[in-house]
Amino acid sequence: MRQSAISALLRAKNTVFTFKEIALMLGETQTGNMRAKISYYVRQKALYPIRRGIYAKDANYDRLELATKIVTPAYISFETVLAKEGIVFQNYQAIFTASYLSREVSCDGGMYVFKRLKDSILTNADGLENRGNYFIAMKERAFLDTIYINTEYYFDNLSSIDWDRCFKLIPLYENKNMMRRLDKHYKNRK
């Protein structure tokens, strides 16, 4: 990796890179060569190793971006969005992510919780916001994701929910019980 190649990588908008992304950006096709080059730049402190196969420009990387790189495809949702939007008052240290599997991962001092959604939901961009380096659910999508996974979830404050948006998004879940759950929360909203 020439000096200009690593500097181009470091100028990228991303703060987190997978091994494959680095290889594509640098046009390297030989896995062994790529491993040696990345190892060299980690030793030189030009790249920060987060976990096997995932690197950052430095230790001040975007943890939301990391959450969507640990397991892909994925997007930020559930309690992470609900707490930020004031819909639940509990302060969660973990980052909650929608993915194709359920798993908890401890990585570089942070906890990442992946909750499984079926592929047709996970890959549908309705109600998601593109933040450039990752996708994050709008509060209504995070609310619906949560009631899809957990039928008895308690929400502290539903006053900021756009109910029309919820009713427009509900078909993507392809679940008749979801409509009943949504109606119940709509009728009991505060």
Overall average pLDDT of the 172-188 stretch:
93
Give pLDDT, residue 1: 44
Overall average pLDDT of the 29-44 stretch:
88
28, 34, 38, 39: CA torsion to nearest 10? -160
Assess whether pLDDT exceeds 70 at residue 39: yes
Assess whether pLDDT exceeds 90 at residue 8: no
Q: How far apart are CA 188 and CA 179, in angstroms?
A: 14
Give pLDDT, residue 3: 56
Q: Which of 81, 79, 75, 165 is nearest to 128 (CA)?
A: 75
Overall average pLDDT of the 129-150 stretch:
97
- At 172, is the secondary structure helix, strand, or coil? helix
Overall average pLDDT of the 142-150 stretch:
97
Contacts 24+ apart (CB under 8 A), 117-120: 117/145, 117/148, 117/149, 120/172, 120/174
Neighbours of 164 (CB within 10 A): 9
Band of residue 34 on the pLDDT scale cut at 50, 70, 90:
confident
Give pLDDT, residue 182: 95
Q: Which of 65, 60, 64 is nearest to 18 (CA)?
A: 65
